[in-house]
Structure 1
Amino acid sequence: MLIAVLLFLSACSSTRFVPDDDYLLSNVRIRNKGADISKEQLRPYIRQHENTKILGFWKFYLGLYNLSGRDDEKGINKWLRSIGEEPVVFDSFLVAQSSQQMSLFLQNKGYFQPSVSDTIIYSGKKKAKVVYTIAPGPRYYLKDLGYGIEDDSVYGEIMADTTKTLLKDGRPFTLEIHEQERERITENLRSKGFYNFSEEYIYYLSDTTVGEHQVKDSLMVMTPEDVTGLKHHRRFRIRDVLFHVGIGTDNLLEEDSGSLASEFDTLRYSGAYIIYEEELSFKPQLLTNSSYIHSGDLYNSRLVSRTHQLLSGLRLFKYINIRFRETGEINDSGQPLLDCVIRLSPGKDQSFSIDIEGTNSSGNMGAAGNFTYQHKNLLRGGEFFTLNTRLARQNQFVRSSTEEFNTLELGAEASIVVPIFWIPLSIKEFRQRYNPKTNISLAYNFQRRPDYTRTIANARMGYNWRSSRYISHAFYPVEFNFVSIPEISSQFRDQISDTFLKFTYEDHLIVNMNYSFLFNQQTLGTNSDFWYLRANVESAGNLLSLASPLWDNNTDKDYDELLGIRYAQYLKSDVDLRYHNRLDNYTSLVWRLFAGVGLPYGNLDVLPFEKRYFSGGANSIRAWPVRGLGPGSYSDEGFGFYNQTADIKLEFNLEYRFKLFWILEGALFLDVGNIWSIKESSSPEGGLFKPDRFYEELAVGTGVGTRFDFKYFIFRFDMGLKTHDPSLPKDERWIPVNRPWTWEDVGFNFAIGYPF
Structure 2
Amino acid sequence: MKNLQFKIVILLVLTLLISGCDTVKRVADNQQLLTKNTLTINNQKVANDTISNLLYQKPNTTIPLPFTSIPLRLYLYNTARPNIDSILNAEYYSQPDKMQRKSRFLSRKQLHKRLESKANFNKWIKRTGEAPVIVDTVLANKSITRIQNYYKVNGWFNAEADYTVTNEGNKKASIDYNIATGEAYKLDTLYSKIASPEVEKIYNQHKKNSLLKSGEQYRISKIYSEEDRIVDLMRDNGVYHFSQDYVSFVGDSILGNHKINIETIIEDRLIREEDVSRREKFKVYNVKDVNIYTNNSFKDRNQSITDTTTYDGYNIYSVGKLKYKPRALTNAVFIAPNTIFKDNNRPLTSRKISDLRTFKYPNIDYLENPDTTLTANIYLTPLQKFELEFSTEALQSNIQTIGFSISPSLLIRNVFNAAETLEISGFTSIGASKDNNDINDQFFDINELGINFKLTIPRLFSPFNTEKIIPKYMFPNTSLTAATSSQTNIGLDKQTFTGAFNYKWYPDSKVTNKLDLFNIQFVKNLNTANYFNVYTNSYDSLNDIAQTSGYISSTEDLSIPSGADTFLNLVDSGTYNSILSEDDLDSANAINERKQRLTEDNLIFATNFSYTKDRRDNLADEDFSIFSARLELAGNLFSATSKILGLEKNEDGKYEMFNVAFSQYVKTELNYIKHWSLGYKNVLAIRTFFGIAIPYGNSTNIPFTKSFFAGGANDNRAWSAYSLGPGSLNSSDEFNEANLKVALSAEHRFNLFGPLNGAFFVDAGNIWNVFDDINQEEATFSGLDSLKDIAVGSGFGLRYDFNFFVLRGDIGFKTYDPQYSLGNRWFKDYNFPNAVYNIGINYPF
Task: Tell me the alpha carbon deviations over residues 281-324 of structure 1, each in whole angstroms, 9 at most, x when there is no partner.
Answer: 86666543321123433211121121121122234455444343
2:708 alignment partner, one of 613, 635, 656 = 613
Q: Which residue of 1 aligns with 2:454?
A: 415
Aligned AA for 1:71? I
Aligned AA for 2:84? D
Pick which of 493-502 and 126-135 moved more: 493-502
Q: Distance in 2 between matches of 1:358 and 1:159?
A: 67
Q: Distance in 2 between matches of 1:8 and 1:276?
A: 76
The 1:201–1:510 alpha-carbon spacing in structure 2 relative to 1, beyond 3 Å, is same
Q: Distance in 2 between matches of 1:307 and 1:34?
A: 55
Instruction: Give the alignment's TM-score, normalised by structure 1.
Output: 0.85
2:476 alignment partner, one of 402, 423, 436 = 436
Q: Distance in 2 between matches of 1:405 and 1:50?
A: 61
Q: Distance in 2 between matches of 1:298 and 1:450?
A: 63
Matched, 1:62 2:98: no
**Residue 210 of structure 1 contacts residue 216 of structure 1 at CA under 8 Å; is this kept in 2?**
no
Q: Which residue of 2 aligns with 1:542?
A: 636
Matched, 1:720 2:732: no
Q: Which residue of 2 aligns with 1:232?
A: 281
Structure 1 alignment gaps of length 5 or more: 250-259, 331-335
Pick which of 153-162 and 316-325 moved more: 316-325
**Residue 282 of structure 1 contacts residue 377 of structure 1 at CA under 8 Å; is this kept in 2?**
no
Q: Which residue of 1 aligns with 2:506?
A: 466
Aligned AA for 2:161? V
**Aligned ranges 1:83-482 → 2 under 5 Å:** 83-209=128-254, 213-224=258-269, 229-243=278-292, 264-265=304-305, 267-269=307-309, 270=311, 286-317=328-359, 319-327=361-369, 329-330=370-371, 336-344=372-380, 350-354=387-391, 356=393, 371=407, 373-375=409-411, 377=413, 379=415, 381-389=418-426, 411-428=450-467, 430-446=470-486, 452-482=492-522
**Aligned ranges 1:682-693 → 2 under 5 Å:** 682-693=774-785
Indicate the percent of aligned positions where both proteins have the same amino acid. Answer: 26
Pick which of 230-239 and 722-731 moved more: 230-239
The 1:232–1:110 alpha-carbon spacing in structure 2 relative to 1, beyond 3 Å, is same
1:695 alignment partner, one of 780, 787, 812 = 787
Task: Tell me the alpha carbon deviations over residues 244-272 of structure 1, each in whole angstroms, 9 at most, x when there is no partner.
Answer: 667589xxxxxxxxxx9876546534455
Aligned AA for 1:752? I
Aligned AA for 2:630? N
Task: Tell me the alpha carbon deviations over residues 60-94 of structure 1, each in whole angstroms, 9 at most, x when there is no partner.
Answer: 23333333322257211222233333333333232
The 1:285–1:553 alpha-carbon spacing in structure 2 relative to 1, beyond 3 Å, is closer
The 1:47–1:658 alpha-carbon spacing in structure 2 relative to 1, beyond 3 Å, is same
Aligned partner of residue 95 in structure 1, secondary structure: helix
The 1:351–1:407 alpha-carbon spacing in structure 2 relative to 1, beyond 3 Å, is closer
Q: Distance in 1 between matches of 2:663 and 2:777?
A: 24
Q: Which residue of 1 aligns with 2:749?
A: 657
Task: Tell me the alpha carbon deviations over residues 682-714 of structure 1, each in whole angstroms, 9 at most, x when there is no partner.
Answer: 242312223332331111112233344444444
Matched, 1:569 2:582: no
The 1:355–1:732 alpha-carbon spacing in structure 2 relative to 1, beyond 3 Å, is farther
The 1:397–1:110 alpha-carbon spacing in structure 2 relative to 1, beyond 3 Å, is farther
Aligned partner of residue 301 in structure 1, secondary structure: coil
Q: Which residue of 2 aligns with 1:674?
A: 766
**Residue 528 of structure 1 contacts residue 582 of structure 1 at CA under 8 Å; is this kept in 2?**
yes
**Residue 700 of structure 2 contacts residue 772 of structure 2 at CA under 8 Å; is this kept in 1?**
no
Instruction: Give the alignment's TM-score, normalised by structure 2.
Output: 0.76
Aligned AA for 1:235? V
Task: Tell me the alpha carbon deviations over residues 591-612 of structure 1, each in whole angstroms, 9 at most, x when there is no partner.
Answer: 2221111121122121121111
Aligned partner of residue 515 in structure 2, secondary structure: strand
Aligned partner of residue 26 in structure 1, secondary structure: strand
Matched, 1:755 2:839: no
Task: Tell me the alpha carbon deviations over residues 21-65 of structure 1, each in whole angstroms, 9 at most, x when there is no partner.
Answer: 444333223234599997122233222323322227322233333
Q: Distance in 2 between matches of 1:730 and 1:424?
A: 60
**Residue 297 of structure 2 contacts residue 382 of structure 2 at CA under 8 Å; is this kept in 1?**
no
The 1:501–1:593 alpha-carbon spacing in structure 2 relative to 1, beyond 3 Å, is farther
Aligned partner of residue 229 in structure 1, secondary structure: strand
| Residue 433 of structure 1: how far off its partner (Å) | 1.4
Q: Distance in 1 between matches of 2:141 and 2:18?
A: 33
**Residue 236 of structure 2 contacts residue 341 of structure 2 at CA under 8 Å; is this kept in 1?**
yes
Pick which of 595-604 and 381-390 moved more: 381-390
Q: Distance in 2 between matches of 1:755 and 1:9?
A: 31
Matched, 1:46 2:55: yes
Aligned partner of residue 348 in structure 2, secondary structure: helix
Q: Which has the higher contact order (CA 8 A, sep 6+)?
A: 1
The 1:420–1:300 alpha-carbon spacing in structure 2 relative to 1, beyond 3 Å, is same
The 1:707–1:225 alpha-carbon spacing in structure 2 relative to 1, beyond 3 Å, is closer
Q: Which residue of 2 aligns with 1:253?
A: none
Q: Distance in 2 between matches of 1:648 and 1:184?
A: 48
The 1:497–1:95 alpha-carbon spacing in structure 2 relative to 1, beyond 3 Å, is closer
The 1:691–1:21 alpha-carbon spacing in structure 2 relative to 1, beyond 3 Å, is same
Pick which of 445-454 and 526-535 moved more: 445-454
| Residue 135 of structure 1: how far off its partner (Å) | 3.6
The 1:386–1:152 alpha-carbon spacing in structure 2 relative to 1, beyond 3 Å, is same
Structure 2 alignment gaps of length 5 or more: 1-8, 86-115, 533-537, 539-564, 569-587
Task: Tell me the alpha carbon deviations over residues 455-494 of structure 1, each in whole angstroms, 9 at most, x when there is no partner.
Answer: 4321001111122222211111111111223333465664
The 1:30–1:358 alpha-carbon spacing in structure 2 relative to 1, beyond 3 Å, is farther
The 1:662–1:160 alpha-carbon spacing in structure 2 relative to 1, beyond 3 Å, is closer
**Residue 155 of structure 2 contacts residue 184 of structure 2 at CA under 8 Å; is this kept in 1?**
yes
Aligned AA for 2:339? D
The 1:262–1:369 alpha-carbon spacing in structure 2 relative to 1, beyond 3 Å, is closer
**Residue 39 of structure 2 contacts residue 46 of structure 2 at CA under 8 Å; is this kept in 1?**
no
Aligned AA for 1:58? I
Aligned partner of residue 839 in structure 2, secondary structure: strand
Q: Which residue of 1 aligns with 2:577?
A: none
Aligned partner of residue 693 in structure 1, secondary structure: helix
| Residue 119 of structure 1: how far off its partner (Å) | 2.0
**Residue 664 of structure 1 contacts residue 708 of structure 1 at CA under 8 Å; is this kept in 2?**
yes
Q: Distance in 2 between matches of 1:374 and 1:603?
A: 40
**Which structure has the larger Rg?**
2
Q: Distance in 2 between matches of 1:725 and 1:393?
A: 40
How many residues align? The count is 731
Aligned AA for 1:223? D
Q: Distance in 2 between matches of 1:364 and 1:651?
A: 33
